[in-house]
């Protein structure tokens, strides 16, 4: 059962929180990067999460098709087949979906899962993210309530974001300002609107200075203690220890100490994209530079088919990305914790 059932996914998140570790959530954009993620999880003996963004899903559908639902559905179906060969359990997730893409991405995918569940099947994806960071908190929470109800009926865990992650990802730009830090009042309003698990299970991406992309040291001021503040505030009101299942976004370039401090406050999922993109591309660049005369037909020569065969550099790219996934599992302490 390499693709988690709803029950197993819930167990995965519970085990992470109780055991003091988090799952890497690896963004993929192709069958090749999916295979790299699966290989990395297997080599680390870690379960994990594979996720696709709106831009990644569009790319997966084909450069001229550009249909997010088609690309996401194709990835999920492909993953179900290839993941069977790996001795780990993986959950499928869709990443940041802003308001203007809900009707073209998240809502149709939930509808597909509702239909599957009505036939006795598991949902297509195990979780979906609603990114309401660009709208006022009140509107964010109203939309979250509607989506959470629909996700719960489809046996899906919802992820939502309060606060703003800085930087840029798939066209969503977050300014670097005070909104990078979620407040206890924001968290209390969230709990009041969508509950603390009683209205459907969700994960919360609360911000503590997070910025997408990689920046030089000193540019990003992470304050993991913000997560403790919101957990304590909501926990005190509802009588629950660490009531939120937290998600760490924009973690590229973070120190190991910052990552593990965040985990100690209830982070169960950390998104990994920029670092694995580089780990995938770096071996390809090395191959091209080393085999310049082979991958190009220079001065009318014939080149070298073995070096411009995509499999030759694709294998190196997969190995490079898989190694970075292993590193992520080690940093998040999920290595060696697989269920199966």
Catalytic residue among 95, 122, 170, 275: 95
215 has a pLDDT exceeding 60: no
Q: How many CB atoms lie within 10 A of CB 340?
A: 11
**Per-chain mean pLDDT for the chain:** 93
pTM for the whole structure: 0.93
Q: Percent of the chain, pLDDT > 70? A: 92
Q: Any idea which of 125-129, 177-181, 201-205 has the lowest mean pLDDT?
A: 177-181
Q: How many CB atoms lie within 10 A of CB 18?
A: 9
Residue 187's alpha-carbon distances to 119, 205, 262, in angstroms, are 37, 11, 16
Residue in the block written with tokens 């190991």: 256
Residue 213: pLDDT band (50, 70, 90) is low
131 as an active site residue: the answer is no
Q: What pLDDT is recorded for position 209?
A: 79
CA–CA gap between residue 71 and residue 29 (Å, rounded): 9
- Could you say which DSSP state residue 27 is in? E
- Nearest of 77, 72, 198, 192 to residue 129 by alpha carbon: 72
- Could you say which DSSP state residue 106 is in? I
CA–CA gap between residue 324 and residue 270 (Å, rounded): 14
Encoding tokens for residue 29? Answer: 């954009």
CA–CA gap between residue 175 and residue 163 (Å, rounded): 11
Q: What pLDDT is recorded for position 53?
A: 97
Q: What pLDDT is recorded for position 83?
A: 98
């Amino acid at each position: 059962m390499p693709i988690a059932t709803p029950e197993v996914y819930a167990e995965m998140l519970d085990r992470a929180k109780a055991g003091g570790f988090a799952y890497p959530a690896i963004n993929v954009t192709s069958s090749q990067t999916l295979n790299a993620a699966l290989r990395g999880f297997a080599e680390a003996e870690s379960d994990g999460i594979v996720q696709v963004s709106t831009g990644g899903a569009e790319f997966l559908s084909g450069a001229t098709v550009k249909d997010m639902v088609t690309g996401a559905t194709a990835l999920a179906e492909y993953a179900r087949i290839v993941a069977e060969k790996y001795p780990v359990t993986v959950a499928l997730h869709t990443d940041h979906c802003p308001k203007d893409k809900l009707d073209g991405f998240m809502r149709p995918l939930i509808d597909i899962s509702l239909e599957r569940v009505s036939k006795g099947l598991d949902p297509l994806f195990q979780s979906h993210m609603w990114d309401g960071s660009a709208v006022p908190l009140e509107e964010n929470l109203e939309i979250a309530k509607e989506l959470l109800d629909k996700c719960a009926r489809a046996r899906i865990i919802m992820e939502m974001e309060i606060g703003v992650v800085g930087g840029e990802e798939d066209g969503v730009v977050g300014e670097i300002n005070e909104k990078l830090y979620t407040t206890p009042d924001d968290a209390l309003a969230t709990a009041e609107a969508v509950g603390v698990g009683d209205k459907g299970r969700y994960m919360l991406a609360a911000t503590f200075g997070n910025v997408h992309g990689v920046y030089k040291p000193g540019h990003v001021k992470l304050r993991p203690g913000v997560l403790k503040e919101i957990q304590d505030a909501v926990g005190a009101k509802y009588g629950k220890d660490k009531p939120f299942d937290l998600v760490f976004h924009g973690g590229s370039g973070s120190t190991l100490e910052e990552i593990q401090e965040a985990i100690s406050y209830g982070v169960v999922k950390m998104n990994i994209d920029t670092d694995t993109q580089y780990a995938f591309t770096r071996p390809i660049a090395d191959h091209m530079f080393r085999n310049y005369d082979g991958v190009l037909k220079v001065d009318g020569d014939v080149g070298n088919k073995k070096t411009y065969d995509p499999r030759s550099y694709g294998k190196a790219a997969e190995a490079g990305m898989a190694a970075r996934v292993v590193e992520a599992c080690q940093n998040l302490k999920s290595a060696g914790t697989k269920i199966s």
